[in-house]
């Protein structure tokens, strides 16, 4: 067996509505579907611009609050212009937790925190560079 495509990544969150607001208002993702799973989890699927993969957010209050350990997992998104991104985040009151940092390839990146402590990496790549 060989897999053919990444479809989505699931992340459990404490407050689904708060997390959806973060991903839509701060990062510009789009909610493409919301539903309740057969076991009662609340689900939301988010579309990332220029990507086929989705992010699935799930909230299941009986499991208790989400506690994300530092440096355990993060999502990385490409941005067109890091300086403009920083200005937009600052205007929205979003704190930059690390960076900006420049790599040897010329990419620049910052980190911010999503609700529950999930780290978000925002990367500006020079034209032609595909990996940080």
Handedness of CA 119, 120, 124, 130 (dihedral sign): positive
User: Distance between alpha carbon 78 and the CA centroid of its chain, in Å?
Assistant: 11
- Please state, in angstroms and rounded to a whole number, the distance separating the CA atoms of residues 40 and 60: 7
How far from 43 is each of 15, 33, 104, 106, CA to CA, in Å?
11, 8, 39, 38
Dist CA 76 CA 119 (whole Å):
9
Catalytic residue status for 53: no
Cβ(121)–Cβ(76) below 8 Å: yes
Sheet of 42-47, strand order? 8-12, 54-59, 42-47, 30-36
Catalytic residue among 56, 70, 121, 124: 121
Active centre residues (catalytic)? 121
């Amino acid at each position: 067996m060989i897999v053919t495509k990444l479809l989505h990544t699931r992340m459990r969150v404490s407050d689904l509505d708060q997390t959806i607001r973060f991903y839509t208002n701060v990062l510009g993702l789009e909610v493409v579907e919301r539903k309740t799973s057969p076991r009662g989890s609340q689900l939301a699927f988010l579309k990332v611009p220029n990507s086929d993969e989705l992010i699935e957010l799930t909230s299941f209050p009986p499991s208790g609050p989400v506690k994300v350990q530092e440096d355990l997992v993060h999502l990385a998104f490409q941005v067109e212009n890091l300086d403009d991104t920083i200005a937009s985040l600052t205007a929205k009151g979003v704190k930059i937790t690390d960076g900006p940092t420049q790599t040897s390839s010329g990419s620049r990146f910052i980190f911010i925190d999503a609700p529950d402590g999930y780290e978000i990496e925002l990367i500006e790549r020079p034209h032609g560079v595909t990996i940080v």
